[in-house]
Structure 1
Amino acid sequence: MTDFLTLNVDKLFEEHAVQEIDQIHRKVQTEVESKRELLRLKVGERYRDLLKAADTITKMKATSEEVVESVQRISQKCRTFNERQLLGFEVETSETQHLNRLSNKHVNNYFGTVVQIKLLTSLPEMIWSHLDKEQFFIATQLFTFARHISTGLQLDTNNSVMKHFPVAKKQWEMMKPFFFTIKQSALEVLEREDLTEDSATDCLLSLFLLEKSSLDSIFQSFLNLRVNALKKCLESDERVKEKIISSLRVLNSTVELVWKCFFENGKGMIVENLENLSTSENGTLGHLTIKDVEIVRVLPDIILKFRPTFDKPTLNPDALRKSMNDWFQIIDTVCGSLLKNNFEMITSMKTIQELKKEALGLDNPKEWSLLCTELSIKLSDSFYDNKYHPLINNRVRAIIKNSWMQSVDSTYNVIVKELMEPQQHSLWIEDMADVPSSLKDIKNNHLLMKTKGYSDGILSISKEFDLKLKDILEEIEVLMKESNSIKEDKIALIEFMKETSASEICNLISKLKCLGNESGAAAAKESYLFLARVLMGFVELCPNLKESLSWYSIEDGDNWKSVSDDKRNLEKWNQISGLLFDESFYYWRGFCDLLMKDILKEDCILEGLGFNGVLKDFLNWESIAVEETTTIRIPSQPRVSLQQYLLKVSQLLSDYIPQTLPTKVLHYFNGKLIENLIRMYESIGNEKFIEGNQNAALQIYFDLKFIQTIFTKRDDRNILDRIQKLSDTLKTSIDPFDFELFHTHLNANIKKCVVRMKAQLGILLPYPEKVDLLLAGGTDTKPSTATTGSEPNVISLSSSGSSSTWFPLLPIIVQEEKVEVPKEGELEVELPQQSSSAQPKKTNGKSSSSSTRPVKSSFFGMSQEWFK
Structure 2
Amino acid sequence: MARNSYNLLELDVDKLFEDHKIEEIIEIEKLLDAEIERKRVELRSMVGDRYKDVLAASDAIKNMKTISQQIVDNIQTITDVCEGLITKNEDKEVEDEVKVDSKQDEERELIVLVRLAVFMNDQIWTALDKGDNLTAAQFYLLAQHIHMGLNLTKKEYLEKLPLLKQIGANLQTLRDLIFSRIKMKLEFVEITAEETSSNLNALLLLKNQSTSELLNIFIAHRKTTLNSVMNTSHSSVRVQVSAMVKCLITTIHLLHDCFVCYGDSKKGLIWQQLQNIVEDSSIPTLSKIELPVTPLLIYIPDIVKQFRPKYKSNIEAPTKDKIGLEDWLEATKTSIKSGLEQSLKLVTNVKGLHIIREEALKIELPNQWERICSESGLPETFNVWYYFFQSLITERARELISKKVFSIIKELEKDIGEVLKGDLKTERGETDLRWYSWVEETGDVSRTENTHIGLSMKTLGFSQNIVTLCSKLDGKYLELLVDVSQYLYGREYEDDIIILTHLKNRRKFIDREELESHLRVESTKNSTTLTVFLQDFLKSESNQTLLVARSLVCARFLQAITTLCPHFNKCCTFNGTTDDWSRICSHFTQSSLQFWDKWVDKCAQETDRSAKRQFSDVGVCSMISILLRWDTIEIQEQTEEKVFKSQIKVPLKPSLLLHHLLNKLNNDVSHVLPHTLPKQIHVQFIERNVELILGQYRGLLGRDLNQNQALQFLFDVKFLTTFCIPRENVRLVALSQEICDKLRGKIDPFDLDVFYSYLQNNVKRAVLQSQAILGCLLPSSAQLANLGVGEKFKDQEKDPSVLALSVPSIAFPLFCTFAHQIPSQKTTAVANVQEVAKVSSPRPTKSTPKKSQDPTAAIRSSAAALFGGLTTDWFS
Which SS does the other structure have where 1:515 is aligned?
A: helix
Secondary structure of the residue that 1:633 maps to in structure 2? strand
Report the AA paired with residue 672 of structure 1. Answer: R
Structure 2 unpaired stretches of 5+: 1-44, 89-93, 490-498, 638-644, 794-803, 832-856, 869-876
1:21 corresponding residue in structure 2: none
**1:625 is paired with a residue of what secondary structure?**
strand
CA distance in structure 2 between the aligned counterparts of 1:697 and 1:527, rounded to whole angstroms: 43
For 1:738 and 1:608, locate their aligned partners in 2 and report how far apart those are by CA, in whole Å. 26
- Where 2:371 maps in the other structure, the secondary structure is coil
Alignment of 1:388-787 (within 5 A): 388-423=389-424, 424-425=429-430, 426-429=432-435, 430-433=439-442, 435-437=444-446, 441=450, 443-444=452-453, 446-478=454-486, 479-480=488-489, 481=499, 482-483=501-502, 484-485=505-506, 490-519=512-541, 520-552=543-575, 569-602=577-610, 603-627=612-636, 629-651=645-667, 660-687=676-703, 689-690=704-705, 693-758=706-771, 761=774, 764-767=777-780, 770=783, 776=789
Report the CA distance shift for 1:193/1:472 in structure 2 as closer, same or farther (over 3 A): same
Give distance in 2, aligned partners of 1:352 and 1:677. 66
- 572-581 or 177-186, larger mean C-alpha shift: 177-186
Give the whole-Å Cα distance in 1 for the aligned partners of 2:179 and 2:106. 40
State the 1:729 CA deviation: 2.0
Relative to 1, partners in 2 of residues 1:769 and 1:470: Cα closer, same or farther, differing over 3 Å?
farther
1: CA distance, partners of 2:805 / 2:516: 39
- Cα pair distance change 1:70/1:456, threshold 3 Å: closer
Q: Secondary structure at the match of 1:601?
A: helix
Q: 1:448 to 1:190 in 2, by over 3 A?
A: same
In the TM superposition, what is the alpha-carbon distance from 1:100 to its structure 2 partner? Answer: 2.1
Compared with structure 1, are the counterparts of its residues 67 and 527 closer, same or farther at alpha carbon in structure 2 (3 Å cutoff)? same
Task: Tell me, in whole angstroms, the C-alpha distance in 2 between the residues paired with 1:235 and 1:182.
Answer: 26
- CA distance in structure 2 between the aligned counterparts of 1:739 and 1:777, rounded to whole angstroms: 30
CA distance in 1, matches of 2:614, 2:251: 92
For 1:283 and 1:488, how far apart are their aligned partners in 2? 57
Contact 1:110 1:161 in 2 (8 A): no
Normalised TM-score (structure 2): 0.73
Gaps of 5+ in 1: 1-47, 553-561, 563-568, 781-793, 823-846, 853-857
Q: Greater shift after overlay, 519-528 or 389-398?
A: 389-398
CA contact (8 A) 2:260 2:320 kept: no
Residue-by-residue CA offset, 1:224-257 (whole Å, 9 max, x unaligned): 2222333333334143233334333433333332
Read off the aligned partner of 1:683 and give its amino acid letter: G
What RMSD over aligned residues (CA atoms) do the two structures have, in Å?
A: 4.7
Q: Is the contact between residue 215 and residue 313 of structure 1 (CA under 8 Å) also seen in structure 2?
A: no
Helix, strand or coil: the match of 1:626? strand
Say whether the 8 Å CA contact 2:351–2:484 is kept in structure 1.
Answer: no
* More off after superposition, 534-543 vs 483-492: 483-492
Please say if 1:307 is aligned against 2:308: yes
Aligned-pair distance for 1:631?
1.9
How does 1:119-158 map onto structure 2 within 5 Å? 119-131=119-131, 135-156=132-153, 158=155
Structure 1 match to 2:198: 202
Q: Secondary structure at the match of 1:576?
A: helix
1: CA distance between counterparts of 2:373 and 2:71? Answer: 68
Structure 1 residue 69 displacement after superposition: 6.8
Cα contact 2:627–2:655 (8 A) shared by 1: yes
**Which structure 2 residues correspond to residues 255-274 of structure 1 after superposition, within 5 A?**
255-264=252-261, 267-274=267-274
Q: How much does 1:414 deviate?
A: 0.9
Distance 2:63 2:863 in 1: 124
Structure 1 775/343 Cα, relative in aligned 2: closer, same or farther at 3 Å? farther
Q: 1:143 to 1:514 in 2, by over 3 A?
A: farther
- SS of equivalent residue, structure 2 residue 634: strand
2:371 counterpart (345, 366, 371): 366
SS at 2:537 equivalent: coil
Which stretch shifts more, 361-370 or 136-145? 361-370
Q: 1:640 to 1:333 in 2, by over 3 A?
A: same
1 CA distance for matches of 2:656 and 2:700? 15
Alpha-carbon distance between aligned partners in 2 of 1:437 and 1:391, rounded to the nearest angstrom: 49
1:278 corresponds to: 278
CA contact (8 A) 1:120 1:171 kept: no
Stretch of structure 1 that moved more, 763-772 or 303-312: 763-772
Alignment check: 8 A CA contact 2:260 2:317 kept: no
Deviations 1:163-195 (CA, angstroms, capped at 9, x unpaired): 36x455324434533333332332233233333
* Cα 1:129/1:526, change in 2 over 3 Å: same
- Distance across 1 between alignment mates of 2:554 and 2:761: 43
How far off its partner does 1:278 sit?
1.2
Distance 1:595 1:447 in 2: 28
Secondary structure, counterpart of 2:628 in structure 1: coil
Distance 1:258 1:97, change over 3 A: closer
State the aligned residue count: 740
Task: Sort the Cα spacing of 1:70 and 1:185 in 2 relative to 1 into closer, same or farther, 3 A.
Answer: closer
How far has the Cα of 1:422 moved from its partner? 1.6
**How many angstroms apart in 2 are the aligned matches of 1:806 and 1:524?**
26
C-alpha spacing 1:806/1:268, structure 2 compared with 1 (3 Å): same
Partner SS for 1:622: strand
Distance 2:557 2:863 in 1: 35
Cα gap change, 1:296/1:592 in structure 2, threshold over 3 Å: closer, same or farther?
A: farther
Shift in CA distance, 779/679, structure 1 to aligned 2, threshold 3 Å: farther
The answer for the alignment partner of 2:212 in structure 1 is 216
Residue in structure 1 matched with residue 840 of structure 2 by the alignment:
none
The one of 803, 812, 817 equivalent to 1:806 is 812
8 A contact 2:259–2:318 mirrored in 1: no
Q: Give the drift of 1:718.
A: 1.8
Classify the secondary structure of the residue corresponding to 1:513. Answer: helix
1:820 is aligned with what amino acid?
P
Equivalent AA in structure 2 for residue 163 of structure 1? K
CA shift, 1:77, in A, is 11
Report the Cα distance in structure 2 between the residues aligned to 1:713 and 1:409, rounded to whole angstroms: 43
The one-letter amino acid paired with 2:473 is F
Q: In the alignment, which residue of structure 1 is the partner of 2:180?
A: 184
Distance 2:862 2:320 in 1: 94
**AA partner of residue 211 (structure 2):** L
Deviation at 1:352, TM superposition (A): 4.3
Shift of residue 355, structure 1, vs aligned partner: 4.7
- Aligned to 1:624, the other structure's residue is in SS state strand
> Mean Cα displacement is larger for which, 69-78 or 186-195?
69-78
Structure 1's 75 and 400: CA in aligned 2 closer, same or farther, altered over 3 A?
Answer: closer
**Contact 1:634 1:746 (C-alpha < 8 Å) held by counterparts:** yes
- Residue 474 and residue 850 in structure 1: after superposition, are their counterparts in 2 closer, same or farther (change >3 A)? closer
Q: Choose the corresponding residue for 1:229, options 209, 225, 228.
A: 225
Q: Which residue of 2 aligns with 1:333?
A: 334
The whole-number CA distance in structure 2 between the counterparts of 1:379 and 1:74 is: 67
Aligned letter for 1:463?
A: S
* 1:528 and 1:588 in contact (8 A); partners too: yes
